[in-house]
Chain A
Amino acid sequence: MRNTKRYQSQNITFANQLPACTPNGCTDQTGPERDQSFCIQDVEQGSLPDCYFMAALASVAWADPNRLGVFATGYKFKRDMVATTLPDKKVATYNGSPCYARIGPRGFIWPLLYERAYAVWRGCGNPCTSMNCIVGGAGMQALEDITGYTKSPVIQPGTWTAATIPNNNGFASVPAVAWTTNGDPGNKIPADHTFSYLGHYPAINPAYVVLRNPHGRLAPEPSTNVTRSDTTWYSRAPCPINFKNDKDGIFALAVQTFKSKFAGIGYVRK
């Protein structure tokens, strides 16, 4: 059954009531894996403290969606394939809700399946009842697990320049993550949290880096004084983003704030 809820950049509807979801699970027969139209907005962290994985997954969907290891028969991590154990791609539920990631605004559940496969790959049994093996981690390692690429060295945010992360006019051309140690909770930058690094604002003198909290629509977004009129920083169908929308987890952060509040940046490449 194809989900009829479609993503709209300025008016995202909360699709927590998927028609395909029942107390026995959710199904997604016609997700973006059919045409590889993965969107970063599809990825939303749920109840599990695995921000590092969800941020990494979102980063790959952002910068290198073709590298996502989503296949008809399963999900690939490095060189290993985790078979899709249920033909209809059911997602286990707990009290009627998916026990892992949240379902994004487009209603697709591939991130949930991906997350479950990751748990299986990391050695979990039944993911809904034994989730410890993916609780907490390192975003850079998750990037490597997802893509099979090679990790960059850890980059100190204090050394950030516009050329630190390979990019195309500011748009990160490699999957990248940034993480905090202490963060700045007062400004909605949680501690020990991982963000997807999307790029830097393509001004002549870049003043902002663009990040995404993997909690997506439920994420707090730090205050910013971005006043540019072109509010749509990157418009790529079907997944345009808008960092002035404070309900998608995507935000532009002043470089100086980024340098002082974040603990590390890293990326993967071939």
Chain B
Amino acid sequence: MLNWKLVGNKQKIRHLFFFLAVVVIIIGNGCPVHADESSGAGIDATISSLSTATWDSNQEMPAIWQDRVVWEDRIEMQSDIFFYNITSGKEQRLTITGSAELHPDIFADLVVWEGWSNGSYNIFLYDLANDVTIQVTDDTHDQFNPCVWGDIIAWEDGGSVYYYNVVTGEESQASEPGTPAGKPDVWGNHIVWEQWSGDNPEIMLYNISNRSIHQVTSDPGNQQYPSIWEDRIVWSEDKDGYKQIMLYNITTGNVTNLTSDPWNHEFPVIFGNLVVYERFSDISAIDLTTSEEVLLTEEVLPAPDTPDTPQIQPALWGNRVVWRGVSDGYYDIFLCTLGVSLPPLAADFMANITEGIPPLVVEFTDKSAGEVAGWTWDFGDGEKSHVQNPVHTFAEPEIYPVTLTVHNPWQRSAVRMDGLITVGSPPVPDYSADVLCGPAPLSVQFMDKSNGYPSGWHWDFGDGGNSSVQDPFYTYESPGVYTVSLLAENKWGNGTTEKEDYITVVEGSSHQCILPAEGVGIEYTDAGMHIVLDPGAFGISRFDPLEVRSLVTGIPGPGSGISGIEFISGDETGFYQSGNETIEGNLSGIVLISDDVCSLNRNSSIGLVWDYNFSSFYPEYPPGGAITSTVWEGSTPEDAIRFEEIAIDNHHHVNATAITLLFQSGNIQSSGPATIVAGIDSAWIERYGWRWSHHVDSDPQGAMVYVDSKLVGKTPVDIGEGLSPGNHTVSLVKPGYYGNITTITIGDRRENIRAIRIPDFGEGSFVNTSFLYHDPVSGMDYFRVYSPEGLSKFGIVSVRQEGNIFQLVNLVVSRALSAGGGGGGGGSSGGTPGRAAASAASPPVKEPPGPAPQGTVALPPAAFEGHQAHESTLQPLGAGGGGELPPATPGGEVGSSSKVLPIEGTSSLIVLRSLSLVFVAIFVAVVFYMRWKR
């Protein structure tokens, strides 16, 4: 298959440069070899490696067009396509996909190959002129062996030969359907391929112009690997037990044997009058004009070639032959330029200095031998240069390899000096730790991440401990916050990095549950785990085979940390009593119920008081299995960040963390669903628990605020502190404005106590948390936490949200300057039903009875913030009604709730104004009457 591809990559020449003469052979990077001295063949030629700057990969499948060469560069299962311009010395990587790109061919600016895409091989095209890649085929079939000439790309697809015109975009099938065909080659309007008829492949010729197929061969011998140039086709054919090269002239119809000696000759490519092919793992060439044959890789390249280093995959253009050879244990691409005799080209260089501190300025001097036309320096720091003797500055401390590649239009050579430049500086210490916080004793694995190649390390762990190893493992025994420092040194000096408060060790309290082994027998049957319980050694508190056969409750002995174990049987038999008074049955799981675990400071005023127990399901009973629960007050800084991130993901924030609970298992598989009952000090909840805040404001400010008829202050003011959960009446009073009364609901801080779970792997989450009850004796509030995903690390936290239901503030109110009244001006647009917050609706606002004292005007209903934003609440007094009597004091003075409030209202103003008008009218009438009387 590979060799067929070579035929597909066959290159062509218009002028023959094949001279039998004195041979001066240039081998790769090195020494000239005079073929006339070794073989006497006598040709001028220069041979050089092209993929010379590669030391750890294989280059294969070369193709050539004029001075442009492409090949595949393979590392294990991945390969990419590379392009090299012989004249300019420019090398370019065409593909970077991480998958396989194979079998390239080139014509002018077009490079084609087969590439892996979406589960199959497809044909790809790279346009060198525009640096774009185009996928030519895109289906689930595999397309192989592309070749290109002019605008035509041909390939093999599922046993047929197709071709594609890159100008018209038209794709056509060349071979006849139903007959296996492959390994195409294209020249001009002709495509050739081998076509199988039974076990006998024949050579076929297709004319794109008239879409006609011509069978070139028809004898029983196997004809394969065709290559075409103008009106000549060459292929290899079985003759007398060997493969020989045959030539067919399309114009004359003549067939000629080109080779006949007893060797295998395969994979021919033709260009003009020159044919090259593999001759028993060597590259051989024959001049059609003279019928002279030259074994290039034996006669021209004797030195590097051995029987173990096959020279194969030839391609040809003009006087240039390329093939895949072997160099330094890897495949390389070789170029033989016929008719050119040059001295060897060997890259070499020196540096004036190889070690120093940054910035290190190094002068490089080219010492290459041969005719050098261009230089490419790779300094190992991402920088390159193309001058002969560059000066380069290495800025960063590092050890750098330097590579020099030199070239001319016929040769290429490279040399790499690994570790040539050492730029050193005092180390910049850095480090990490696998855990930053946790309960004591806390074991931490520190890892050195210093830059600058330190050779010595001095750790100070902050608690008096130290170490000189690179990656120390250290255990903190006592709670505290520790600053860790690392001093790293090398021959250039030393540096120190200190991370303040890097390790946090908290005071943890641990409790362990151990599943007893005594009194429990385990057998594994086809039905799973069969368990035998010995009531003599394992207390049985509940077993009723007549009523509930599926459940047995056991009580392990003291010290197990377990208050009970429920054994569950899921089969029909359930548990039963054996003859020896043991209880046995097929087990489908257990529920472990822990002892109650309490904090030790229950009778002191220091620290948070808590207690908890848990129950969790396990599918099996592992004797000796242990669950260790560790609890500490608050959270470590690391956990605090995780808790907050998880809370935000759930549209909350963490207000405070009461306790962190960490469950760790030993010799027991991960638990199933688990329930934790945790008690938290009620005082903590009162202090850190959150509920919707109630901020009351008005415009203008300074209105008195009454809650349940008790004055709490003037606006703006926060209310809620000290209020019990439930409904409360809030009134707003300001002299000269309408008043307002509304009802709010004070939430229960316990409603915002949640458990957040941090799993060992994956994302954390809120877990179902519900308030159970308040224990007035212990002063504890108890919560149930249900974790379907089992035990892990939990934080019992108080959460809060953004979204104050009373945040709609600054409702502009209007002073009641004129008579108005009537109508309902307030009310709510609906509030926030379903939330533990305020009840939104205000009571209806009524016209205040009786006359109002001078200068007092009631607030409109909307003046109390927290009302839902209904536009009607913003109507000035003249457009709305009055208000219900608020508990205010006369004259705007702050008064107690027991004081009688002034009567306010617009009706009184109307009466007063009417009376005034009547009085003025009477007065004017009297004045006029008196004047008239005069």
Contacts and interface: CB of A to CB of B under 8 A. Distances in A.
B871 A97 contact: yes
A50 B869 CA distance: 13
B163 interface: no
Contact of A140 (B648, B695, B699, B829): B648
A94 interface: yes
Interface string B580-601: 0000000000000000000000
Contacts of B834: 130-132, 135
B119 interface: no
B464 interface: no
A16 B807 contact: no
Interface stretch (B291-299, B537-545, B795-803): B795-803
Interface stretch (B196-204, B319-327, B808-816): B808-816
Contact of A185 (B653, B695, B868): B695
Nearest to B835: A135
B697 interface: yes
Nearest to A151: B648
Nearest to B840: A47
Interface string B227-269: 0000000000000000000000000000000000000000000
A52 B810 contact: no
Given A190-B809, A194-B802, A99 B869 contact: no
B830 A94 contact: yes
B598 to A, nearest CB: 32
Contact of A218 (B652, B808, B829, B833): B808
Contacts of A185: 695, 697, 716-718
A40 B716 CA distance: 28
Contact of B651 (A46, A141, A192): A141
B148 interface: no
Given A51-B804, A52-B803, A185-B695, A16 B810 contact: no
A136 B809 contact: no
A190 B803 contact: no
A99 B829 contact: yes
Contacts of B693: 190-192
Given A97-B870, A185-B716, A51 B807 contact: yes
A50 B835 contact: no
A46 B699 CA distance: 18
Interface string B803-837: 11111111100000000000000001111111101
Contacts of B831: 47
Contacts of B653: 138, 179, 181, 263-264
Nearest to A154: B644
A188 B809 contact: yes
A221 to B, nearest CB: 8
A188 B701 CA distance: 11
Interface of A: 16, 45-52, 94-95, 97, 99, 102, 128-132, 135-142, 151, 153-154, 179, 181, 183, 185-186, 188, 190-194, 215, 218-220, 263-264, 266
Q: In this complex, which of B647, B692, B808, B831 has the most chain A Cβ atoms within 10 angstroms of its Cβ?
A: B808
A48 B832 contact: yes
A179 B832 contact: no
B438 to A, nearest CB: 21
Given A49-B832, A97-B829, A218-B808, A154 B648 contact: yes
B518 interface: no
A194 B829 contact: no
Contact of B802 (A47, A99, A139, A186): A139
Contact of A94 (B800, B801, B829): B829
A49 B651 contact: no
Which range holds the interface residue count of chain B?
35 or more
Contacts of B805: 49, 135
Contacts of A183: 695
A224 to B, nearest CB: 16
B574 to A, nearest CB: 42
B803 A188 contact: no
Nearest to B649: A141
A215 B837 CA distance: 19
B803 A50 contact: yes
A52 B835 contact: no
A132 B648 contact: no
A46 B649 CA distance: 24
Interface in B640-689: 641, 644-645, 647-653, 655
22 contacts: A46-B869, A47-B808, A48-B832, A52-B801, A94-B829, A95-B830, A95-B870, A102-B869, A138-B650, A138-B651, A140-B648, A141-B648, A154-B644, A190-B806, A190-B807, A192-B801, A192-B804, A193-B807, A215-B808, A218-B810, A220-B697, A220-B809
Given A49-B692, A192-B803, 13 more contacts: A49-B804, A49-B807, A51-B807, A52-B803, A130-B834, A138-B652, A179-B802, A186-B716, A190-B807, A190-B809, A191-B718, A193-B804, A220-B697
Interface string B860-872: 0000000011111
Contacts of A51: 802-804, 807
A153 B640 CA distance: 12
A127 to B, nearest CB: 11
Nearest 10 Cβ contacts at the A-B interface: A136-B801, A137-B651, A47-B868, A136-B803, A132-B834, A220-B810, A52-B802, A49-B803, A49-B805, A47-B869
Contacts of B641: 153
Nearest to B653: A138
B832 A135 contact: yes
A183 to B, nearest CB: 8
A97 B873 CA distance: 12
A172 B871 CA distance: 33
Nearest to B718: A185
